[in-house]
Structure 1
Amino acid sequence: MSVITKLTTVELKLLAREPGSVFTVLIPLFILVVFGSSIEPGDTVLLPMTLAIAVGLVGLYQLPTTLATYRERGILRRLSATPVRPGSMLVVQLIMQFVLALAACGLLVAVAGTVLGAHMPAQAGPVAAAFLLGTAAMFAVGLLIAAVAKNGRTANGVGVLLYFPLAYLAGLMQPADQMPVILARVGEYTPLGAFRQALQDVWAGVSPNPLLLGVMAAYAVIISLAAARFFRWE
């Protein structure tokens, strides 16, 4: 068994016991069930919104808090003296958080499709493209938070404070068509807003705007480079 596999197994057990990961799954599910019971089966807005909420919570809260806490406790520093290099922990955490986001979104889609009779897109390719780019963009932001935060509590606070304005601009707290035009327009070019709009386009049966896909890719690359530049192992 490889080092990455062993470390992934251990971290998966720890993640399953983490209360934050449970709330990350349950909060968007609660929103979907509460509001989904009163909408039309052909609605193409609510499910993309809750999917974006789930990925946003993982990227801005769960990922940076975990990494910053590990650095604060000296775990990353101690790993540098073992065959398990600190970089391996970073890779494993990215895998774990991606699995968490995938599980949360999979649960949302399953409940929406079976219980609420929600509309599902016909093609999986555009869904996968929007999901992967959106997740990469949000994880990049989370990595930057982890890179500059002094400890886990600071990372948690920064993530939460950043989440709410991004969620508002993205149209996750108020439908974009009910927001002031200029704010809705700006929101489309935030990482979370581009993600939500791309998913909504796919659910509406149209191809996601290539510009929005490019925006998410640019966020993922540029912010990841900044995170790598400022990241500290101890």
Structure 2
Amino acid sequence: MTKLTTVELKLLAREPGSIFTILVPLFILVVFGSSIPPGDTVLLPMTLAIGVGLVGLYQLPTTLATYRERGILRRLSTTPVRPGSLLTVQLILQFVLALTTCALLLAVAGTVLGAHVPSQALPVAAVFLLGTAAMFAIGLLIAAVAANGRTANGVGVLVYFPLAYLAGLMQPVDQMPDILARVGAFTPMGAFRQALHDVWTGLSPGPLPLGVMAAYAVIVSLAAARFFRWE
């Protein structure tokens, strides 16, 4: 398991998509953060949601679908290293990638931009874990049904941008039509952004966004497990 983790970590570090998922939210934060007051409670939660969304909806499904397309999962079934071990390692490493992205965003925002960072770490961690679980569940479902890595990549992009818009990551929620804003509250990314915003403003995350994220994490994960194919 340790050797497999080391090999997969090296492959992930060399993957251009990994760099992409780190640099895109960081670029948005730096470019727009330089013109936003330090006490702003909107931009940083938005970029955190963007970073986790890119890992869950783009990086994770593309990697897993590519492995199945290349027959890696099928070949592993004939070795002592079971396919389930690779899936577990990938989930852990993708989680570390999302965590690294968010940690870098927080570090840059707090030190370079002087942005507001919540002092209570527990609510932030709880929302991050729940939001990441919801995003990863959708990514696993995409990987389960995609025929190959290219298809998973395309589906991930097609899913990401509508979700990002409805979540208020491309246009502030208060500037969106009411119906779209209401729909966005019931999407995993919208619930994630709202829960982060609540924490950043010193409030406890509302039951609606927490419930929405939990529902996606559980229900979509079960669907992904049902449809997932090793070959």
Unaligned runs of 5+ in 2: none
Pairing 1:40–2:40 present: no
Shift of 1:211: 2.1
**What letter is aligned with 2:207?**
P
1:18 to partner: Cα distance: 0.4
Distance 2:96 2:104 in 1: 12
Over residues 172-192 of structure 1, what are the superposed CA-to-partner deviations in whole Å (9 max), with x where a residue is unaligned? 000111111111111011000
- For 1:34 and 1:157, the matched residues in 2 are separated by 27
- Unpaired segments ≥5 residues, structure 1: none
- Tell me the distance in 2 between the aligned counterparts of 1:193 and 1:6: 38
Structure 1: which 4+ aligned runs deviate by more than 2 Å? none
Report the TM-score when normalising by structure 2: 0.99
Cα deviation per residue 1:70-115 (whole Å; 9 max; x = unaligned)?
0000000000000000000000000010000000000000000000
Equivalent of 1:208 in 202, 205, 227:
205
1:122–1:205 Cα contact (<8 Å) kept: no
Structure 2 match to 1:221: 218
Partner of 1:180: 177
The superposition leaves residues 104-163 of structure 1 with CA deviations (integer Å, 9 ceiling, x where unpaired) of 000000000000000011211110111000000000000000000000000000000110
**C-alpha separation between the residues in 2 aligned to 1:123 and 1:182?**
33
Counterpart for residue 11 of structure 1: 8
Matches within 5 A, 1:6-155: 6-155=3-152
Measure, in 2, the Cα distance between the counterparts of 1:129 and 1:71: 32
RMSD: 0.5
Matches of 1:211 and 1:185, distance apart in 2: 12
Q: Provide the TM-score with structure 1 as the length reference.
A: 0.98
Name the CA distance, whole Å, in 2 between partners of 1:168 and 1:78.
40
> Partner letter of residue 141 of structure 2?
L
